[in-house]
Amino acid sequence: MNQSVFEAGTGRASLDAVLDYAWSAGVFTATEAMHAASLTRSTAIEAIDTLIAAGVLHELPNARDAGEYRAGRPARRFSLRPDAGTVAALDAGDTHLTAAVANLSGETLLRRQIPLSPTQSVEERRETVIAHLRHTLAEAGVERDDVLALCVGVAAPVTLQGQSPPHPEGFWERTNPGLIEALRDEADVVEVKNDAQLAAAAEGSEGEAIGSRDYVALLAGERLGAGVVVDGHLLHGAHGGVGEMFAFDFIRDVDSAFGLGPSLERLAREVMTRAAGEGSSAEGLAAMDPATVRGRDVLELAATGDLLAREVTDAVGHILARIVGVLGNMFDPEKVIVCGAIADGIQPVLDAAQTTLATQIHLPAPTLLRSSLGGDVVIRGALARARDRARSDALPRRVARAGRGL
C-alpha cells in the first residue's frame, strides 16, 4: 500500500468511514461495511485490508468455518482488534488520585486509587500523578507504545489547551500542576479536562443523559461543579470556566459553592443542636454526635423516615432547587443530573427540590435526576473521552504511519 492511500482525501475518508463502522459493529462483513459506509465494494475491501495491515482490524474465521453458514461462498468476517491499543484515564481530585486502563472495546483492565495530601506542593503533585500513572500501566502489563490516548480530570477550570488559570489561593495550580506538559509523552494523545465536564461525558455516554443534547451534570459532593451540554456541545469558555460554581457565593439562599455533602452536615448540626435544647428524644439523628455526623448518615436516616433527618434533607432540597433554578435560567437544560458518590442516597433531597423548583425558573423546569454512576463518574467519563480521542485522532495517525512503512 503506498503513501497516497493514507494522505489522499478520498483514501482517508474511506478509512475513517470503515473505522467508524467497525468501532461499534462487533463482527461484520465487507458487504455490511460497504453499505454502512456508503462505499463501493472494492473501496470498502481496500480500506479493510489497510486496517488489517495496520493492526487495527483482524479477520475472523469465515462463516462456514464458524459453523454459521451452509451454502454458497462464505463471507469474510472482521472485527476491531481490542488489543490494537489501550486508553488510560486519571481522576486527580484534591484528596485522591484514581488511574484506570481500558482496551478499545471499553473493558477496564485495571483501576487503582491512592490518597493524596492537600498539602502537597505543585511539584510533588505533578510527580505523584506521573508515578501513579506509570505504576498502573506497568501493573496492567501495558507498554507506553500501546497507549493511544490519555484523559485527565482535575477539579479546576481547564482551557481547550489543557491549562488552568491562576487561583487566588493556588488551588487550581496544585490540582492541575501543568499536567498537559508533564504527561505529553505518556500517550499519543493527551487531554486534561475539568472533572464536572467529564462527569457530563460519562452521563452522555452511559448514564442518565444518553440521547439528550441539553443537560447539566452537577457534581455535588464536597464542592459544586457543573458540566454543561447545550445543543450537543460541551461548553468550556475562554478560560474553561463554564460550570465553575463560585458565583453561588453571591446567590441568596445558597451563599457558597460548597457541595450538598457539607450542606447536609452543616444543617444537621444546627437541627441537632436545636433538638437537644428542646429536650427531644435521643433517637435517630438526634442520637448522633454532631461533631462526627456525615452527609451520608443524614441521607440514610431520611430514607427511613427520621423526622429530623427529613427536615435537613428538605432544607438542602430548597438549596438545590435554587441552584438548579439558576442553571435552568442560564442554560435551559432538559435535565440536571446530580453526580458523584453522594448521588447514591440523594433522592430525599431531589424530592424536596422538585416541590419548589418550578418557582425558581421562568422556563419549563428541567427534570432533576440522580446519577447511577456513583463515585466513578469522573474516571468513567475520562475513559470515555480517551476512547473517543483514540478513535478520532490516535488510531488514524497510527494507520497513516503504518501505511508509510508498507
Determine, yes or no, domain membership for 180: yes
Q: What is the Cα 123 distance to its own chain's centre?
A: 26
Measure the CA–CA gap between 288 and 74, rounded to whole angstroms.
71
Q: Is the same domain home to 67 and 171?
A: no
User: Three cell numbers at 27?
Assistant: 463482527
Could you tell me which of 245, 246, 211, 251 has the C-alpha nearest to residue 229? Answer: 211
Question: Which pLDDT score, from 0 to 100, does residue 6 have?
Answer: 43
Determine, yes or no, domain membership for 64: yes
CA angle 212–213–215, rounded 5-degree value:
75
Q: Is the same domain home to 225 and 76?
A: no
H-run or E-run covering 205: helix 195-206
Q: Which of these three, 53, 81, 109, is where a domain ends?
A: 81
Question: Which pLDDT score, from 0 to 100, does residue 7 have?
Answer: 44
Q: Is the same domain home to 235 and 362?
A: yes
User: Three cell numbers at 13?
Assistant: 475518508
Measure the CA–CA gap between 397 and 391, rounded to whole angstroms.
10
**Torsions phi, psi of 134, nearest 5?**
-65, -40
Cβ neighbours of residue 28 closer than 8 Å, sequence gap 6 or more? 21, 22, 36, 77, 78, 79
To the nearest 10°, report the CA torsion of 301, 343, 100, 236.
Answer: -150
Q: Is the same domain home to 67 and 115?
A: no
Determine, yes or no, domain membership for 400: no
Determine, yes or no, domain membership for 403: no
Number of structural domains, the chain? 3
Measure the CA–CA gap between 105 and 23, rounded to whole angstroms.
8
Question: Which pLDDT score, from 0 to 100, does residue 64 have?
Answer: 53
Determine, yes or no, domain membership for 401: no
Indicate the pTM of the whole model.
0.88
- Supply the CATH number for residue 141's domain: 3.30.420.40
Q: Which of these three, 81, 106, 136, is where a domain ends?
A: 81
Residue 77: give the domain boundaries: 4-81
The DSSP call for residue 191 is E
- The pLDDT tens digits along the chain (406 residues) read 333 344 444 477 888 899 999 998 889 999 999 999 999 999 999 999 999 998 899 999 865 555 555 555 678 899 999 889 999 999 998 899 999 999 998 899 999 999 999 889 999 999 999 999 999 999 999 999 999 999 999 999 999 999 999 988 888 999 999 999 999 999 999 999 999 999 999 999 999 999 999 999 999 988 899 999 999 999 999 999 998 888 888 888 887 888 999 999 999 999 999 888 877 677 899 999 999 999 999 999 999 999 999 999 999 999 999 999 999 999 999 999 999 999 999 999 999 999 999 999 999 999 999 999 999 999 999 999 999 999 999 998 888 877 654 4
- Supply the CATH number for residue 36's domain: 1.10.10.10
Determine, yes or no, domain membership for 399: no
Q: Is the same domain home to 222 and 364?
A: yes
Q: Is the same domain home to 90 and 181?
A: yes
Q: Is the same domain home to 223 and 348?
A: yes
Cβ neighbours of residue 27 closer than 8 Å, sequence gap 6 or more? 60, 77, 78, 79
Question: Which pLDDT score, from 0 to 100, does residue 278 have?
Answer: 79
Cβ neighbours of residue 179 closer than 8 Å, sequence gap 6 or more? 92, 126, 129, 152, 154, 162, 192
Name the pairing type of β-strands 215-219 and 335-339: parallel
Q: Is the same domain home to 313 and 238?
A: yes
